[in-house]
Amino acid sequence: MGQSASLEAAGQDDRRHGFSAAEYAKLQERLSVQGSGSKVHLPRVELADFVTCFPAHLRSFVQPLFCYLGKERIGEGSADWDHFVQGVSRAIKSGLRWKELLEVWADRDAVQDGETSSEGPELELCLELAVSLCFWSAFSDRDMALSPDLAVAVLKSSVKMDKSLASWLEGNLPMLPSVVGFCLSQSLLGMVSPAIPEIKSRILEASTHLLLRSCTARLWESDEWMPLYRDWCDGRSFNALLKGTLFYEAPAVVLLQTQQGHVLGGLSTVWTDNNGKYAGSTECWLFALQPAFTVCKSTSTSGNYAYLNSRNKYAPRGLGFGGQEGFFRLWIDADFEECYVLESDATYAPGLLHPSSGSLQIPFQLAAIEVWGCGGLEAAKVQKAHRERVEGVREQARKVDKARLCDNEFDKEMFLGNTFSATADCREVAEHKKGEE
């Protein structure tokens, strides 16, 4: 009897394809599929019931996804329930990959093992639709004024539409397809999905923010980014940048916008003034977001990851990444006047961070600069506590210096003579008036 019950339970688990009993029942309810107990007969699920679970602006993108998950040809109005549940479970529990997303619109045999055999125009369309699906999955509840067009444009201008497309996307934007699984779990199971936080940036738009976050798991999973420095509200000076970023013990993104509208930057894991020396770790990397998308991860353990110097007058003063002293891969000097990039260096992977001017060192004029902390509230608390400790030490040092000035009569006369003289005069006048009274 016990063995029979166990076998029946195992059969139910297999039929649910990893969903719990409650999740499976919710899926049935949302898709208007009837059945109960172990004798459930659920041959087909209807496309119309599926698409109505999503916001109107997402429905045209999820129709082909329905067919893909149910292993049906595009255009079918229903899908086998068992195949569909298995496909949805895989998308939610394990997450889709770029190869699968491209397959949603391509021929089933067109994408094999991360490589595609489709022609360029077809792949370009698949890319556009896949990126749009990801975008609207991430912002399904946002203002319809948003658009994935910028993300689509920068990616189209960055990759070759050939058999390496899926692999390139997997290497540069590995986290982006996961939003589709989040959207499915929210729409079909009523689960709360992590939202992409909004940021008040004059450089990043919603689509480029989404691309940047999806470059690494650490950025993707980070809490709301906090502004450490924005020149348009904190003042255009290197001292203001230092005031906002020093002692921040978590990754932070530097965003740069040029006078031509190009957007580039880097991520640094260290925010201390190292007196003319490099710091950071292999987690530092560089990127470009406009007009093309480029990611340059660390390819070396040389130690020349990030550079921040304001105190050492015998070394370059400013903020830099990679390269070597005086010849950085990305450089912004302390006056925000001398800014340039190189096409390659020994620390980061090669790639154009700025359209080439034909020279080895590509200069640009800075229009805006922002630094965003990605460590959440905990990193902000640590930075605040560190600042307060440093300020406390400085205040104590000032008090000690003042006290030392009054150690002897010579110091009083030498440094505070006028103060003591004025005090004595006031005392004498006061005593004279008191005697007259």
Residue pLDDT tens, the chain, 437 long = 455 444 344 445 578 999 999 999 999 999 998 754 444 455 799 999 999 999 988 999 999 999 999 988 777 789 999 999 999 999 999 999 999 999 998 755 444 444 455 567 789 999 999 999 999 999 987 766 789 999 999 999 999 898 899 999 999 999 999 999 999 999 999 998 888 888 999 999 999 999 999 999 999 999 999 999 999 999 999 999 999 999 999 999 999 999 999 999 999 999 999 999 999 999 999 999 999 999 999 998 788 999 999 999 999 999 999 999 999 999 999 999 999 999 999 999 999 999 987 778 999 999 999 999 999 999 999 999 999 998 878 777 777 666 565 555 545 554 455 554 555 555 554 555 555 55
Q: Would residue 11 count as lying in a domain?
A: no
Is the domain of 160 the same as that of 222? no
Q: Would residue 18 count as lying in a domain?
A: no
**Last residue of some domain: 383, 406, 425?**
383
Q: Would residue 30 count as lying in a domain?
A: no
Is the domain of 343 the same as that of 223? yes
Q: Would residue 298 count as lying in a domain?
A: yes
Q: Would residue 19 count as lying in a domain?
A: no
Is the domain of 164 the same as that of 122? yes
**Last residue of some domain: 344, 359, 383?**
383
Is the domain of 354 the same as that of 392? no
Q: Would residue 325 count as lying in a domain?
A: yes
Is the domain of 366 the same as that of 419? no
The candidate with the shortest Cα–Cα distance to 307, out of 328, 283, 288, 335, is 328
Is the domain of 132 the same as that of 231? no
Q: How many structural domains compose the chain?
A: 3
> What's the pLDDT score for residue 8?
45
Taking CA atoms, 151 is separated from 177, 210, 372, in Å, by 14, 9, 20
Is the domain of 394 the same as that of 359? no
Residue 293 C-beta-side C-alpha neighbours within 13 Å: 25
Q: Burial letters for 18-51: b for 16+ Cβ neighbours within 10 Å, e otherwise?
A: bbeeebbebbbebbebeeeeeeeebeebebeebb
Q: What is the pTM of this model?
A: 0.84
Is the domain of 172 the same as that of 46? yes
Strand order in the sheet with 318-321: 278-279, 306-309, 318-321, 330-333, 339-342, 361-363
Q: Burial letters for 360-391: b for 16+ Cβ neighbours within 10 Å, e otherwise?
A: eebebebbbbbbbbbbeeebbeebeeeeeeee
Is the domain of 153 the same as that of 234? no
The candidate with the shortest Cα–Cα distance to 156, out of 177, 116, 196, 129, is 129
Is the domain of 182 the same as that of 168? yes
**Last residue of some domain: 383, 402, 419?**
383
Q: Would residue 199 count as lying in a domain?
A: no
Q: Would residue 47 count as lying in a domain?
A: yes
> What's the pLDDT score for residue 36?
47
Is the domain of 146 the same as that of 222? no
Is the domain of 243 the same as that of 261? yes
Q: Find the domain containing 140 and state its range.
A: 42-189
